[in-house]
Amino acid sequence: MKSHQHSYKRDALKKVPLFSNLNKKSLDEIGKIADEVEVPAGKILAKQGTLGLEFTFILEGEARVEKDGKVINRLSANDFYGEIAIIDRKPRTATVIAETDMKLLVVHSRFFQPLLEKTPGLANQLIIALCKYIREAESKHA
């Protein structure tokens, strides 16, 4: 059963653009520390201004991202959030709210740094993803 669970998580993580270039071993390492969580529609998943304690990948469902009460983005399967607050350990930059029932993979902050250290290429992939996020945000406001 555990082997099936790891391969399920690995297959799900492989679909996340952030992880698409990681090898099987690295994906398995992430899968080992990621908790699968189901949440109902309407649940606040992350709140702007609060400390971010997890990095979350969306397996199923849809969410909206709000900054100062204004919708700035929509997220769905294979998207992620929480990467900024978990990296710089500062308050969250936006609120994320489930618009549908959702299935998530969650990596808690206490596992995040060790994950970066033992997963070759992950830190670089995160940097690239953050640059893309910044560029998209800037183009929306240009």
Give the CATH number for residue 9: 2.60.120.10
Per residue in 67-121, pLDDT (tens digit) is: 999 999 999 998 889 877 777 888 898 999 999 999 999 988 888 888 888 877 7
pLDDT on residue 37: 95
CA distance 59 to 75: 11
Q: How many structural domains does the chain have? A: 1
pLDDT on residue 106: 92
**Is beta strand 95-98 parallel, antiparallel or unpaired with respect to 44-46?**
antiparallel
DSSP H helical segments within the chain, as ranges?
A: 2-14, 24-33, 83-88, 109-118, 122-140
pLDDT at 7 over 80: no
Q: Which domain holds residue 58?
A: 2-140
pLDDT at 4 over 60: no
pTM above 0.85, yes or no: no
